[in-house]
């Protein structure tokens, strides 16, 4: 057997065997050498590939601060460095003594370049609180309006950090630089109808972003008290009016509403486990100067001035839709009062040391107005007749009416809405005409 095998391997002529063996050895050696050098080259190539991948990855990781990889926030990021830290510290400095929160507050305001966050930041700054803003300047609506708000805030000494609430490293850095006493959380994907187009943006900002922020707050030492924006939309398909905080909220009509409802549950769990002081505010259709272009009163104004038709939705039974429109100054008062009455968080080092407050308040106007009435008021202030296109409300998440019961906020916050829709829209129109430089004569 063994012989046979050798016969197969080696030729039978003995002299030839040596030569053949030598050739075979050479061939094998060459093959081996060739394959070793090929392997060597491949190894070099793979090492180079790994090194370039790792350096690219670390460049991207270092920051979320250099690139924003989120689909909803395309602007470039830049945070960190001594100069940046100095801006943050200066902006957070308290310039008053006394006041509701005893000695002034140092507040992180998320969504500060947004409509409500901008007004609240200005109000806090005006009374001498320290305010640092955070906003990702996403393009859900014209970011130039957000930048204009930011520039105005900068003039009042409020620095708005360009960043995402999902950026845990940025949040940790901010809490490292400043011992914030409060966080006012307004950053969110707002709007009901956009969820049909981009549902992921709601999960990104309103759920994941909220959890990232709460994680940062829970680990901060001292823990801040948190005031955050929920929404009247949590009342969903409820038909008992006015809406009260004690009503059930288990029938959301949109993904937006569902994420806000989720936010109330999530904040409750952080309150329960970590002792974070939580105040959730259910805003009812906020409007006013520097408002949100995606909202009806704003887009109606634009279209009416441009002579374009406006679409007015009506309920299935031909009933007009109605909203409890709430003027921004009233909302700001409610937010500031919430901050001033928020009890302290009790945890430290990620552990709860005692029970902390968990509060929910309606902030509305208590007097719903129908959409055709709103259009009538706008026509009067704009001095232009609207071209109305009345259609049945599509099933896209809108609810037929909202109406707030604010007795809890009145009792605990001293909240008392003072601006009716006519007076509020008058101020909005004045701002709109001056901001967009609209010339009534030329229509431009």
Ligand X SMILES: NC(=O)c1ccc[n+]([C@@H]2O[C@H](COP(=O)([O-])OP(=O)(O)OC[C@H]3O[C@@H](n4cnc5c(N)ncnc54)[C@H](O)[C@@H]3O)[C@@H](O)[C@H]2O)c1
Cα–Cα distances in Å, from 424 out to 30, 55, 118, 240, 378? 89, 54, 18, 27, 11
> Rounded to the nearest 5 degrees, what angle is found at the Cα of 196, between the Cα atoms of 192 and 201?
75
Q: Which is nearer to ligand X, 209 or 242 (CB)?
A: 209
231 near ligand X (CB under 6 A): yes
Q: Are 293 and 145 in contact (CB under 8 A)?
A: yes
186 near ligand X (CB under 6 A): yes
Q: Are 393 and 277 in contact (CB under 8 A)?
A: no
Binding track over 166-185 against ligand X, x by CB under 6 A: x-------------------
Residue the block writes with tokens 């050098």: 37
- Which contiguous run of DSSP H or E holds residue 203? none
Active-site amino acid positions: 256
Residue from 77, 122, 158, 164 touching ligand X (CB under 6 A): that is: 164
Residue from 207, 229, 342, 386 touching ligand X (CB under 6 A): that is: 229
Q: Which is nearer to ligand X, 184 or 375 (CB)?
A: 184
CB atoms within 10 A of CB 41: 10
- Give, as ranges, the residues between 82 and 121 that touch ligand X (CB under 6 A): 110-111, 113-117
Q: How far is the CB of 311 from ligand X (least distance, A)?
A: 19
Q: Sign of dihedral through CA atoms 282, 295, 189, 121? A: negative
Q: How far is the CB of 259 from ligand X (least distance, A)?
A: 9
- Give, as ranges, the residues between 362 and 381 that touch ligand X (CB under 6 A): none
Q: Of 308, 313, 408, which Cα lies nearest the Cα of 359? A: 408
Q: Of 384, 382, 388, 386, which Cα lies nearest the Cα of 426? A: 382
Q: Of 301, 298, 282, 288, which Cα lies nearest the Cα of 123? A: 288
Counting residues that bind ligand X (by CB under 6 A) gives: 29
Distance of CA 134 to the CA centre of its chain: 9
For 74, what's the count of Cα atoms within 13 Å in the CB-facing half-sphere? 6
310 near ligand X (CB under 6 A): no
CB atoms within 10 A of CB 187: 29
Distance CA 184, CA 204 (A): 18
135 near ligand X (CB under 6 A): yes
**Partners of 162 in the β-ladder:** 135
Binding track over 43-82 against ligand X, x by CB under 6 A: ----------------------------------------
Q: Which is nearer to ligand X, 148 or 384 (CB)?
A: 148
Q: Are 402 and 285 in contact (CB under 8 A)?
A: yes
Q: How far is the CB of 105 from ligand X (least distance, A)?
A: 19
188 near ligand X (CB under 6 A): yes
Q: How far is the CB of 407 from ligand X (least distance, A)?
A: 19
- Give, as ranges, the residues between 256 and 295 that touch ligand X (CB under 6 A): 283, 285-286, 292
190 near ligand X (CB under 6 A): yes
Residue with smallest beta-carbon separation from ligand X: 114
424 near ligand X (CB under 6 A): no
Q: How far is the CB of 434 from ligand X (least distance, A)?
A: 19
Q: Which two structure tokens, joined as six digits, stand for 68?
A: 């924003």
Q: How far is the CB of 402 from ligand X (least distance, A)?
A: 10
146 near ligand X (CB under 6 A): yes
421 near ligand X (CB under 6 A): no
Residue from 101, 136, 254, 365 touching ligand X (CB under 6 A): that is: 136
Return phi, psi of residue 225, to 5°.
-90, 145
| E strand residue ranges, 112-187 | 130-135, 159-162, 182-185
Q: How far is the CB of 215 from ligand X (least distance, A)?
A: 14
Query: Which residues in this chain contact ligand X in the complex, by CB under 6 A?
Result: 110-111, 113-117, 134-138, 146, 164-166, 186-190, 205, 209, 229, 231, 283, 285-286, 292
């Amino acid at each position: 057997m063994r012989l046979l095998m050798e016969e197969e391997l080696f030729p039978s002529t003995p002299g030839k065997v040596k030569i053949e063996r030598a050739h075979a050895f050479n061939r094998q050696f060459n093959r081996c050498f060739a394959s070793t050098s090929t392997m060597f080259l491949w190894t070099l190539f793979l090492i180079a590939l790994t090194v370039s991948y790792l350096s690219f990855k670390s460049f991207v990781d270092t920051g979320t601060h250099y690139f924003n990889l989120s689909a909803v926030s395309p602007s470039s990021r830049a945070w960190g460095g001594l100069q940046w830290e100095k801006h943050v510290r200066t902006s957070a400095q308290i310039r008053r003594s006394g006041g509701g929160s005893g000695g002034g507050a140092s507040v992180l305001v998320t969504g500060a370049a947004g409509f409500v966050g901008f007004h609240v930041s200005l109000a806090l700054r005006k009374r001498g609180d320290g305010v640092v803003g955070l906003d990702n300047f996403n393009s859900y609506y014209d970011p130039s309006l957000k930048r204009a708000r930011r520039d105005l805030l900068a003039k009042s000494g409020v620095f708005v950090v360009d960043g995402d609430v999902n950026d845990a490293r940025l949040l940790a850095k901010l809490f490292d630089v400043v011992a914030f006493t409060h966080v006012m959380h307004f950053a969110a994907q707002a709007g009901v109808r956009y969820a049909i187009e981009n549902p992921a943006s709601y999960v990104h900002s309103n759920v994941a972003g909220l959890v990232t922020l709460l994680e940062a707050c829970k680990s901060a030492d001292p823990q801040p008290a948190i005031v955050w924006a929920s929404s009247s939309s949590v009342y969903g398909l409820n038909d008992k009016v006015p809406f009260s905080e004690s009503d059930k909220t288990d029938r959301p009509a949109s993904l937006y509403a569902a994420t806000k409802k989720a936010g109330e549950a999530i904040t409750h769990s952080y309150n329960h486990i970590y002792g974070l002081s939580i105040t959730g505010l259910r805003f009812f259709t906020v409007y006013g100067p520097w408002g949100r272009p995606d909202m009806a009163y704003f887009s109606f104004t634009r279209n009416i001035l441009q002579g374009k038709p406006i679409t007015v939705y009506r309920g299935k039974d031909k009933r007009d839709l109605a909203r409890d429109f709430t003027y921004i100054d009233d909302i700001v008062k409610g937010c500031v009062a919430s901050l001033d009455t928020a009890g302290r968080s009790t945890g430290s080092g990620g552990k709860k040391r005692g029970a902390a407050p968990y509060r929910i308040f309606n902030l509305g106007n208590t007097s719903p107005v129908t959409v055709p009435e709103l259009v009538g008021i706008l026509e009067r202030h704009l001095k232009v007749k609207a071209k109305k296109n009345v259609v049945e409300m599509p099933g896209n998440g809108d609810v037929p009416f909202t109406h707030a019961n604010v007795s809890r906020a009145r009792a605990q916050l001293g909240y008392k809405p003072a601006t009716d829709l006519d007076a509020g829209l008058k101020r909005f129109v004045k701002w709109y005409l001056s901001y967009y430089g609209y010339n009534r004569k030329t229509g431009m």
